[in-house]
Amino acid sequence: MMCFIRRLRFVFMPLVLILASFVLSPRASAANLESSIIKIYSYIQRPDYDSPWTTKQSERLTHMGLIVGDGKVLVSAYAARSAKHLEAEKIGESKRFPLKLIRMDPVANLALFEFSEGKPEGLEDITFGEDLEIGANCTVYQAIEGESLVARALRLREVQMQAGVLTSYQMPQYVFEIRKPGYGWFEPMIRNGKLVGSAISQSGSNVFALPVSLIKRFVKESLSDNYRGFPELGISFSNLLSPALRKFGKADDYDDGVWIQDIKETSAFAKVLKKGDILYELNGIPVSARGSYEHPLWGRISITAKLSEIYAGDKVELKVLRQGRDEILTENIGPYNPDLERIPSVIDEPPKYMIFGGLVIQELTEGLMQSWGTNWRKRAPLAYLYEDAFYSWPVRGGETKVLVLQRVLPLDYNKGYHSMEDSFVTAVNGIPVTNLTEMSAALDRPEKGKEQFARFQLDPGHEEIILSYKGIDKIHGQLRQRYGIPKTAKFWETSKAPD
């Protein structure tokens, strides 16, 4: 009997040790990572779009950060966008160290900092791995609330082209399923002790993360003397599945290709690419009739994912079919600049606005639309959403914007106009206006024969607001006093106002 027990112990002891090491490995891995993963405290003041001359109350957000590039700190640009101050804290410690910005790219949603006044001891750069393939396993680490890293096993479900957090520029993003809320604060994804991605947002049970290839690209470029941003191809296309459309485009003999619908005026190909061209190859990569290509790790994905491997300034070759003839178009592609969009997509920048007689007129941005809350795509004015969806591309090199009557500050002076909020301002004193500079100039030029009045034309509905120039300085003084508006607020100046 004793012999049997000894044999049993001999068989099961190694098994117990193996199981123990498997169970403890996440903890051991977490301990090893605590020198490369830190907590970030971001003290932010977001714009107040209802009162654009001020900001909302200061708040503190907690993010995760990574040690990279010889002791630098990598965080999401979302953590830095409206931050007045950032501090870093080593996992398990209480002392915080201020950070100084090196570079921020809202398109990539990444920012690189350095310690400005000392730094924690024992920090080590995190090791970069490679991008995951569909179905691959990894571990996400979180320490937002606790004093130690908490591990959670994940499996990559899919990769989607998604707009970033701060701009509408689309990049390939991992999609993981986590039914627990509270992710999307730059939690690192680790596989075999190496970084493979970082979470940037969560929607329901879907957690979206940047692949490590994008992170490595940003860090490398940020540490160089010449930062090369993400490029803009600047085209829209539709699938080419219809036999009739193929015949119309003289592409009967082609199985691949997409129909070019429009080209941005800021695109490097604006002068050589035409509507109705059929794009069937980008930098030697065949473009399917659905606009996808075969990625070695992610399977079929939009051809626009290829842009994440291209740098602003790189030469890009497009092969197109134009009325049955092959054309090869080659251009040096430029960077994507969200500020040039007719409806700028950068979030959390101070609003551009002007006040005239209680009319608070702003340039429409995605930041303004997102002020309607997390469900802004359902709650924001339909006219705003329509313009953003169909007419957001740059016009006149980015000079054209959309002016909105965002708010009417009630006074007897503007009585009767309070219901006209959220309308577009299209002309002032009979002069079309497409930005605040043009609006200010138009207010300086009253209509002939109607010099005492300013006239604002609105859409939709073709309504008008007519206000008197007389006593406008006094009116602005009343507004400052009643609504606590500081002298630094942007009121229309009366230098050219009629007497």
Q: Are residues 242 and 285 in the same domain?
A: yes
Q: What is the pLDDT of residues 29-44, one digit of tens each?
A: 666 788 999 999 999 9
Q: Are residues 281 and 259 in the same domain?
A: yes
Q: What is the pLDDT of residue 82?
A: 84
**Using CA atoms, how far apart are residues 388 and 342, in angstroms rounded to an integer?**
9
**Using CA atoms, how far apart are residues 210 and 152, in angstroms rounded to an integer?**
17
CA dihedral (40, 41, 43, 44) positive or negative: positive
Closest CA to 364 of 52, 79, 88, 136: 52
As for how many domains the chain has, the answer is: 3
Whether residue 298 lies inside any domain: the answer is yes
Whether residue 12 lies inside any domain: the answer is no
Q: Are residues 375 and 248 in the same domain?
A: no
Q: Are residues 349 and 324 in the same domain?
A: no
Whether residue 14 lies inside any domain: the answer is no
Q: Are residues 126 and 242 in the same domain?
A: no
Q: What is the pLDDT of residue 426?
A: 97
| Domain ranges, residue 130 | 27-225
Q: Are residues 202 and 245 in the same domain?
A: no
Whether residue 19 lies inside any domain: the answer is no
* Ranges of residues in the chain whose predicted pLDDT is under 70: 1-31, 144-146, 494-499
Q: Are residues 213 and 92 in the same domain?
A: yes
Q: The CATH number of the domain where 277 resides is what?
A: 2.30.42.10
- Specify the pTM: 0.87
Q: Are residues 322 and 356 in the same domain?
A: no
Q: Are residues 372 and 313 in the same domain?
A: no
Q: What is the pLDDT of residue 5?
A: 42
Whether residue 269 lies inside any domain: the answer is yes
How many residues comprise the chain? Answer: 499
Tokens for 4? 């049997």
Q: What is the pLDDT of residues 278-287, one digit of tens each?
A: 999 999 999 9
Q: The CATH number of the domain where 91 resides is what?
A: 2.40.10.120
Q: Are residues 384 and 320 in the same domain?
A: no
In degrees and rounded to multiples of 5, residue 274 shows phi and psi of -125, 150
Q: Are residues 346 and 429 in the same domain?
A: yes
**Using CA atoms, how far apart are residues 419 and 29, in angstroms rounded to an integer?**
60
Last residue of a domain, one of 187, 205, 225: 225
Q: Are residues 346 and 397 in the same domain?
A: yes
Whether residue 212 lies inside any domain: the answer is yes
**Using CA atoms, how far apart are residues 303 and 290, in angstroms rounded to an integer?**
9
Q: What is the pLDDT of residue 16?
A: 40
